[in-house]
Structure 1
């Protein structure tokens, strides 16, 4: 059973992951592949509002998407976007990326190859990946304005949409860990984490929400 304190801590971590930026017109929309088709829904909605003339969907498969999206995350995202009314000619597919860094690097290369000039990117991810996506793009795609966005929903609505309370909190904790450790590894720019968010994160780890944590690198010995 998840305690009321863990729910409150999870909500605080969730709020930190959100960038709270208002989407505005950009050169391109980039939808980051995942298990969540809501990313495709949000990207399609932004396109249909006229916020960009082209969408890149990026993503291969992972252990959490292989069964649900056997043709690959980006391909399934494209199919969903076309169902929602997006023009097929407006969608580019990048089917090889297996992590956020590759999402950014491979999408950037694909757009350069297609001759699309990019001054700004509307970066669409799962809600709790907004800050991570932003920090990664700022590191790997300098010189462009990055607006990080997702489907507008509350923490409770997102938990209900996934249908697995513990998994969602595990993912929130894992995403925050990456914000803390990846800058030193050169994967993203540093993002300050308020003390109260760090404390909530540590309490969630202590409560056992650890399935999405990455192990520390091995220590060299003599």
Structure 2
């Protein structure tokens, strides 16, 4: 049973993780592979709205996707885009990335090899990973402008779609931890984290929502 306080703290993290960017025309849409095919759906929506002439999906597999996406996250996301009517020549695939940093670096390499000039990127992720993806991209690809996007959803609706609310809160907590620790490790640019967001994160950790934390970063409880 998830307490009222835990839900309130999760909502605070959910709101913080979203950048609030308005989609605008960019050179390419890059969809970050994951268990969530909503990323592909949102990328296709942006393509249909004329926000970019090209889609690129990036991602190999992870423990959470190995069984449901055996051909790799990017490949399954591409297949979803094709099923939704996007022409095959408008969809590129980067099938090797296993973390957000590799998503960015490997996607950049694929686009350069394809001769695509990139000045701006619509970066599509899960709703709670907008800020993490943005901060990582700004660090690793400083020459490009990035606009964050995800499927517009409330936290309760997203938890219902995943059918595992505790896992979703674990992910919110894990993403926040990385925003706190990764800048000093050189993995992403610094993002200001308001005090009330830190406090919500710490309470959730004490409540045991630690399934996605890096072991070295677990706070004392």
For Structure 1 versus Structure 2, the TM-score category normalised by the shorter chain is over 0.9
TM-score by length of 2: 0.97
Give the unaligned 5+ runs of structure 2: none
1:165-204 CA distance string (max 9 Å, x none): 1000000000000000000110000000000000000000
**How far apart, CA to CA, are the structure 2 residues paired with 1:72 and 1:116?**
24
1:150 matched to 2:150? The reply is: yes
Between the two proteins, the alignment pairs up a number of residues equal to: 217
Report the aligned-residue RMSD: 0.7
CA distance, structure 2, for counterparts of residue 111 and residue 145 of structure 1: 15
Q: Structure 2 matches for 1:21-36, cutoff 5 A? A: 21-36=21-36
Structure 1 gap ranges (5+): 218-222
Could you list the per-position Cα deviations for residues 47-80 of structure 1 after superposition, in whole angstroms to 9, with x for gaps in the alignment?
1111001111000000000000000000000000
What is the DSSP-based 3-state SS (H/G/I as helix, E as strand, rest coil) of the residue aligned with 1:7?
A: helix
SS of corresponding position for 1:110 = helix
Question: What is the rounded CA distance, in whole Å, between the counterparts of 1:6 and 1:153 in structure 2?
Answer: 19
Once the 2 structures are TM-superposed, how far is the Cα of residue 85 of structure 1 from its aligned partner? 1.2
User: What is the rounded CA distance, in whole Å, between the counterparts of 1:185 and 1:116 in structure 2?
Assistant: 30
Equivalent-residue separation in structure 2 for 1:21 and 1:209 (angstroms): 28
Partner of 2:48: 48
Instruction: Please state how far the C-alpha of 1:143 moved relative to its aligned partner.
Output: 1.4
Structure 1 match to 2:211: 211
* TM norm structure 1: 0.97
Q: Deviations over 1:77-103 (max 9, x none)?
A: 000001111111000000000000000
2-side partners of 1:65 and 1:23: how far apart?
A: 28
